Amino acid sequence: MKRLIVDYKKLTAEILDLVVSQYPYGFDDDIIEFKLASGEIVEAIEVRSEDTVYLVKIGSKLAKAIKEYEDTVIENDDEFTHFEDDQVSDDETLEE
Q: Residue 28 is part of which domain span? A: 2-80
* Any domain includes 50: yes
| 32: CB partners within 8 A, 6+ apart | 43, 44, 45, 46, 55
Asked whether residue 87 is domain-assigned, the answer is no
What is the reported pTM? Answer: 0.61
Decide if 85 is inside a domain. Answer: no
Length of the chain: 96
Residue 85, pLDDT above cutoff 50: no
Helix (H) or strand (E) holding 42: strand 41-48
pLDDT tens profile 12-55: 989 989 998 999 888 888 999 888 899 888 889 999 999 999 99
- Residue 95 belongs to a domain: no
Cα separation, 9 vs 3, in Å, equals 18
pLDDT at 68: 79
* Stronger pLDDT, 73 or 42, i.e. the higher one: 42
Residue 92 lies in a domain: no
| Per-residue model confidence (pLDDT) at position 36 | 84
Residue 82 confidence (pLDDT): 43
| Count of domains for the chain | 1
3-state class (DSSP) for residue 71: helix
**Residue 93 falls within a domain, yes or no?**
no
